[in-house]
Amino acid sequence: MKTEVRRLRKVEPRAPVLVEGLPGMAFVGRLAVGYLVEALKAEKIAELYSPHFPYYIIVDAEGRIRLPKGEFYYWRNPDDGPDLVMLVGDSQAQTNEGQYEVASCVLDFARELGVRTIITVGGYRSFEDRSRVICASTSRKLLVKAIEAGAVISPEGSPIVGIAGLLLGLTSFTEMEALCLLGETRGHLPDPRAAKNVLRVLSKLLGIEVDLAGLDKSIKEAARIEEMISRIDISGLLEGGPAEGPGYIV
């Protein structure tokens, strides 16, 4: 078995933007892009499988199973703005080489679809309670657009770890340009608030209207859990990831 994209449906997007949101730091990317897929009623056009994804299957409520995978959704923009291809999924690759292989495979498929611009979405670990959206890009022009839409430039020297970073890094070998949008998060738990912050910037940047109110219930629930945890003081246990430094990012 190789890392590969299996197309489910032939589409002809018009120079689309690829928006990536695989699970990572505080599930910000997964939550944000997953919400976008639903809000836009995008349709699934392809799946990505890899032997670098975890070696288990996932069971649903009806006892049906599936491998961990990435899913590509397509949304045809009814207005003037760009079409979107959105990548969500269950997992990132489990090894160093696997990360490069999966990211390369995504880029190959993006090229096939005629993608010109890639936007990756993730979380940015912050030790204060902040709501900024951090950005970095392969293109000055794209970076300026992100800043105009409300993002701030990433602190210097912060590594952007995983597929959200590699997709940017590997576009330098292609004609594509890429941008990373990272929502600040404490990083303890899935963070729908950070996801909403990113979506605000993203929708403005793309000129697409998306009603973000649907995230508010999850935000309240997450805040409630966070508050419970802070009272029983096990936040230290939940930190995980790098133990120090201002900004390791997934």
Nearer to a second copy, 39 or 170 (CB): 170
54 backbone dihedrals φ, ψ, rounded to 5°: -60, 150
CA-CA distances (angstroms) from residue 38 to 75, 126, 162?
A: 10, 28, 24
Applying CB under 8 A, among 114, 155, 245, 246 the residue interacting with a second copy is 155
Give the amino acid at 109.
Answer: F
Applying CB under 8 A, among 8, 15, 59, 228 the residue interacting with a second copy is 59
Contact between 18 and a second copy per CB under 8 A: no
| Nearest-approach distance from CB 197 to a second copy, in angstroms | 18
Identify the burial level of 85 via C-beta atoms within 10 angstroms of its C-beta, where 0-12 means exposed, 13-18 middle and 19 or more buried.
buried
Residues contacting 126, CB < 8 A, separation 6+: 132, 184, 185, 186, 187, 246, 247
Contact between 234 and a second copy per CB under 8 A: no
Nearer to a second copy, 174 or 235 (CB): 174
Query: Among 20-28, 93-101, 224-232, 234-242, which window interacts with a second copy (CB under 8 A)?
Result: 93-101
| Nearest-approach distance from CB 78 to a second copy, in angstroms | 32
Q: Rounded distance, CA 212 to CA 201, Å?
A: 11
Contact between 137 and a second copy per CB under 8 A: yes
> How many residues bind to a second copy according to rule CB under 8 A?
51
* Cβ atoms 92, 99 nearer than 8 A: yes
Interface ranges with a second copy (CB under 8 A): 1, 6, 51-52, 54-67, 94-101, 104, 135-138, 140, 143, 153-162, 165-166, 168-170, 172-173, 180
